[in-house]
């Protein structure tokens, strides 16, 4: 399980590898928020191409970052979802507020 | 009931055990020859129930979570039990988007996800005693209907 960060345009790209559950989310939320504050970026893009499992804790993490970015005049989106993750986004209704992109570049271009 | 096979698992209610729990149940389910998507559904449902025991039942203090699994023909049976604080109003708790912990970025989707990924899901709970989540799923059904 690992997380890496990079900046593209006005976006903090959060690339996650592994399984997103409550255990993982508790550790990673703070480090995303710290970077969001200190790097002076307004938007977050989750790059999830290396994520093969996500439960409701992941939904909570994404909605939470969405709220943080909206406060700063930005937005949170997700890129590169597996079919599994797409299903979770559908069941939860998350797709109605969070945009899904096929690539990070596409997500960053829109912003 | 006379099951073809059964297993039980008890572990400390700490978040590090969430992946251990779902992987263990998925491994047990392998004998039913599930499709990859079915394995994911089982893992997700187990993860939701176990996480609820850790976060809500024991409020992140010490406790034990128990899992029992059985299989009979192509049906998988799962029971996840805690001896935590229990749920006052189960119907309300099971409503989509209901959460008692919005401040922790919970979204109230755990039960909704369990219900949609399993064929049957029931919750038995008593305040001060604990909660049991019973789930069942037919395995190998997705071949015919895509
Ligand atoms: N094992 C349990 N013991 C005590 N209360 C529980 C238990 N499981 C669920 N609950 C209660 O039911 C509510 C709904 O659970 P559900 O899993 O649907 O949502 P959540 O855990 O709050 O959020 P999410 O699962 O989306 O992170 C919880 O907020 C909690 O109040
Ligand atoms: Mg839950």
- The pLDDT score that the predictor gives to residue A108 is 87
The CATH number corresponding to B5-138 among 3.30.565.10, 3.40.50.20, 3.40.50.700, 3.40.50.1370 equals 3.30.565.10
In chain A the domains, ranked by start, together with CATH numbers, are 2-110 (3.30.750.24)
Domain boundaries, chain B: 5-138
DSSP conformation class of B119: S
| Residue B109 near residue B96, CB atoms below 8 Å | yes
Residue B91 annotated as catalytic: no
B93 lines ligand 1 (CB under 6 A): yes
Band the pLDDT of B145: cuts 50, 70, 90. very low
Task: Write out pLDDT tens, residues B25-44.
Answer: 999 999 999 999 999 999 99
- The pLDDT score that the predictor gives to residue A37 is 85
Distance B105 CA to ligand 1 centre (A): 12
Q: Is the pLDDT of residue B142 over 70?
A: no
Provide the ipTM: 0.93
Q: Residue B73 contacts by C-beta under 8 Å, 6 or more apart in sequence?
A: B4
Handedness of CA B46, B51, B57, B60 (dihedral sign): positive
Task: Write out pLDDT tens, residues A75-108.
Answer: 999 999 999 899 999 999 999 999 999 999 999 8
Q: Does the distance separating the beta carbons of B43 and A63 come in below 8 Å? A: no
Residue B60 annotated as catalytic: no
| pTM for this prediction | 0.95
């Amino acid at each position: 399980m690992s997380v890496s960060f990079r900046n593209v345009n006005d976006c903090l790209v959060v690339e996650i590898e592994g399984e997103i559950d409550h255990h993982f989310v508790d550790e990673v939320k703070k480090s995303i928020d710290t970077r969001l504050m200190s790097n002076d970026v307004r938007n977050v893009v989750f790059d999830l191409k290396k994520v093969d499992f996500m439960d409701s804790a992941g939904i909570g993490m994404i909605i939470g970052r969405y709220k943080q970015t909206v406060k700063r005049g930005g937005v949170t989106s997700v890129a590169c979802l597996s079919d599994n993750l797409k299903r979770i986004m559908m069941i939860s209704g998350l797709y109605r507020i969070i945009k899904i992109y096929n690539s990070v570049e596409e997500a960053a271009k829109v912003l | 009931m006379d099951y073809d096979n059964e297993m039980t698992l008890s572990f400390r209610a700490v978040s590090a055990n969430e992946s251990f729990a779902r992987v263990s149940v998925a491994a047990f389910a392998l004998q039913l020859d599930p499709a990859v998507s079915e394995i994911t559904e089982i893992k997700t449902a187990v993860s939701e129930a176990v996480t609820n025991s850790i976060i809500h039942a024991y409020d992140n203090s010490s406790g034990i979570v128990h899992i029992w699994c059985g299989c009979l023909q192509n049906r998988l049976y799962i029971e996840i039990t805690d001896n935590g604080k229990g749920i006052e109003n189960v119907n309300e708790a099971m409503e989509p988007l209901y959460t008692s912990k919005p401040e922790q970025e919970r979204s109230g989707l755990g039960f909704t996800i369990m219900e949609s990924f399993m064929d049957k899901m029931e919750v038995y709970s008593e305040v001060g005693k604990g909660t049991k989540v019973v789930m069942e799923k037919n395995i190998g059904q997705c071949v015919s209907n895509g």
